[in-house]
Amino acid sequence: MNSKDIIEEKLSEVILNVYQLKDIKLEVQENKTEFEGDFTIVTFPLVKQLKKNPERIGVELGEALTEQTDLFESFNVVKGFLNVKLKNQLFIDNFRSVNSRFSIVEKKNATVMVEYSSPNTNKPLHLGHIRNNLLGFSVAQILKEAGYDVIKTQIINDRGIHICKSMLAWEKFGKGETPEATHTKGDKFVGNYYVEFDKNYKKEISELVNQGVSEEQAKKDAPIIKEAQKMLLDWENGDETVRNLWAEMNSWVYKGFNETYKRLGVDFDQVQYESNTYILGKDLIQAGLDKGVLYQKEDGSVWCDLTDEGLDQKLLLRSDGTSVYMTQDLGTAVERFKQNNIQKLIYTVGNEQDYHFQVLFKILKKLGYEWADQLFHLSYGMVELPEGKMKSREGTVVDADDLMQEMYETAKSKAQELGKLETLSEEDKEISYETVGLGALKYFMLKVDPKKKMLFNPAESIDFNGNTGPFIQYTYARIQSLLSKAEFEDKETADIALNQFEKELIMQLANFKTVVARSAETLSPALVANYIYDLVKSYNSFYQNNPILNQDDENIKQFRLNLSNLTAKTIKKSLELLGIGTVNRM
């Protein structure tokens, strides 16, 4: 337990002893005021029950805490706020406990599946996918640190009219070229043919409109879209030629995706493909009809009425017997719980799909799946860039690879300007540019609450001051330099009298596991990101106000080195939870 937890526990005991009140939990805050004390206890919730003024309650509690426990050195009361000063030994013990148990993860005996990324195979990953991947991967890392077993998964949308458009365009205009022959990344290569299809489709629509056909009809009658629809039908009927082309073009895309994932630093334990899952869910329809949860219209289509839940009526099976996305998602969810021993399933998907997931979860609940209560939609807002930054050829979509490359180049330019890496080998310099550039991108993305829409500013993200990845990485590198100069070994020390900077840093370090638990509970990596920033600020205050290498007392020097080492370990571990690396020199 950290200091705050210990105070809350003792406070509950004292309130029971003094006032005979059970289950009372007063708010305990770190003391940020000019008044003496390490923590502040807010007494106002007791005023109504005890019919006493808050100052009186504060004095009574302060006296009881100092008399009935051996934790507190002194107290003072200011306008009903009880400021308590803890005994030096509590901080020392807390530090030793945190240091000795740092790498211990208490297992939860529960498995969580986290779905993220889930792209289409007709175009490369873009800026929205970056936020999606970073969020999903980070949440998975945080859940692991909180003690859960985690399965990271994605379902790739590898079938349908979109991929047929790319395939048809390649057949018509590709002249047999390949990504290798054109030195083009596989996903971009296929994406270029999707754009090529669209260009020709618009041209044919325009020609038909000029002949007097309405635009709506022209979109249906354009020869190229009819060919794409025919190709989709051939695919569904198992046409060998179409299937072979589909498999080859998808293999190009997957190779490209994997390059992007590798550079972004995310991975998956399982991958599902929509071409294998799109028929799932149909068997649930009959079961739902038998239970009376679903109903069939005269045209044979099947629906679920959710109006009593404040939602609408949802189509699950068309009159021609074909399924919709919702049907597939129902089947995939059931399949995942059947194939894996999971207790929770988290979908990382943008907030434009909020309604879809409300409906999905309600239908599964109505169908009788108890685990439906353990389905969560990790909904996130859109990412935007400053006007004029990182525009793609179409002027709308920001390519993920281009953005990562820009971050690398910005980090390289900044490092060369500061001239701090001159003594490193070219290989180590390259590692540093990549780690700092992508660290800046990831931290900036993850420090914002997932639910909020965000503006990503590449130049601002790579600043070495303020709440940024490079600022945090620089502090880590500074500590590594300090430990290296001191030829550090982690050795036990005798107790020392701590000052306010050491106490504050110990309190921050002791909060790590609490922050991880809260972040896992709320599925918000932003809590971890902002914790590291506070920890780094606290360390920098400690570093600036306490001599370490020049400290004459060897015991104090060793303690401060131990404290610096634990801070570095905590920074490194926290950054790992965000998928961010560290470097020893910056």
Question: Could you report the per-residue pLDDT of 202-212, keeping only the tens digit for each?
Answer: 999 999 999 99
Three-state secondary-structure class, residue 81:
strand
Residue 392 pLDDT more than 70? no
* Mean pLDDT (whole number) for 45-72: 90
CATH fit for domain 400-577, picks 2.60.120.10, 2.60.40.10, 1.10.730.10, 3.40.50.720: 1.10.730.10
CA 538, CA 502: separation in Å to the nearest integer? 9
CA 77/CA 64 separation, integer angstroms: 13
Does residue 389 carry a pLDDT above 80?
no
- Record the tokens describing residue 144, joined without a space: 């692991």
Distance of CA 256 to the CA centre of its chain: 23
The superfamily CATH assigns to domain 111-280+327-381 is: HUPs (3.40.50.620)
Q: Average model confidence (pLDDT) for the chain?
A: 92
The residue ranges of DSSP E strands in 93-193, in sequence order, are 111-115, 149-156
The stretch 218-228 carries a mean pLDDT of 96
Tell me, what's the pLDDT at 142? Answer: 98
- Is the model's pLDDT at 387 over the cut of 70? no
Across the range 267-271, mean pLDDT stands at: 97
Q: Do domains 3-86 and 400-577 have the same CATH topology?
A: no
Please report, for residues 109, 508, 522, the alpha-carbon distance to residue 106 in angstroms, rounded to integers and kept in the order given.
9, 20, 19
Q: What is the pLDDT of residues 562-574, one digit of tens each?
A: 999 999 999 999 9
Just give the CATH number of 3-86: 3.30.1360.70
Read off the pLDDT of residues 353-375 as tens digits, 9 standing for 90 and up: 999 999 999 999 999 999 999 99
The DSSP bridge partners found for residue 315 are 303
Specify the pLDDT at position 391.
43
pTM of the model: 0.90
The pLDDT tens digits of the residues spanning 96-117 come to 999 999 999 999 999 999 999 9
Q: What is the mean pLDDT of residues 475-500?
A: 96
Q: What does the pLDDT look like over 404-454, one tens digit per residue? A: 999 999 999 988 888 878 888 999 999 999 999 999 999 999 999 999 988
Side-chain-side CA neighbours of residue 42 (13 Å): 8
- 365 neighbors 372 (Cβ within 8 angstroms): yes
Burial degree of 219 (CB within 10 A; 0-12, 13-18, 19+): middle
pLDDT band at 1 (very low <50, low <70, confident <90, very high): low
Residue 560 is predicted with a pLDDT of: 98
Domain boundaries, the chain: 3-86, 111-280+327-381, 400-577
What share of the chain in percent tops pLDDT 90?
Answer: 77
Q: Torsion over CA of 111, 281, 124 and 394, rounded to 10 degrees?
A: -130
Query: Which has more confidence, 131 or 31?
Result: 131
In the predicted structure, residue 388 carries a pLDDT above the cut 50: no
For residue 395, pLDDT over 60 is answered with no
Smallest CA-to-CA distance from 231 within 278, 167, 275, 187 is with: 167
Q: For residue 245, give the amino acid letter.
A: L
- Output the six-digit token pair for 553: 């007392």
Task: Convert the pLDDT of each residue in 536-557 to its tens digit.
Answer: 999 999 999 999 999 999 999 9
pLDDT value of residue 324: 87
Q: Could you tell me how far CA 308 lies from the centroid of its own chain?
A: 34
Q: How confident is the model over 288-303, as a mean pLDDT?
A: 94
Question: What is the pLDDT, as a whole number, of residue 356?
Answer: 96
Residue from 538, 555, 537, 557 nearest 547 by CA: 557
End-to-end C-alpha distance for the chain, whole angstroms? 35
- Whether residue 2 is predicted with pLDDT greater than 80 in this model: the reply is no
**Region 183-193: what's the mean pLDDT?**
96
Query: What is the average per-residue pLDDT within 43-55?
Result: 89
**pLDDT above 50 for 248:** yes
Query: Which amino acid is present at 115?
Result: E
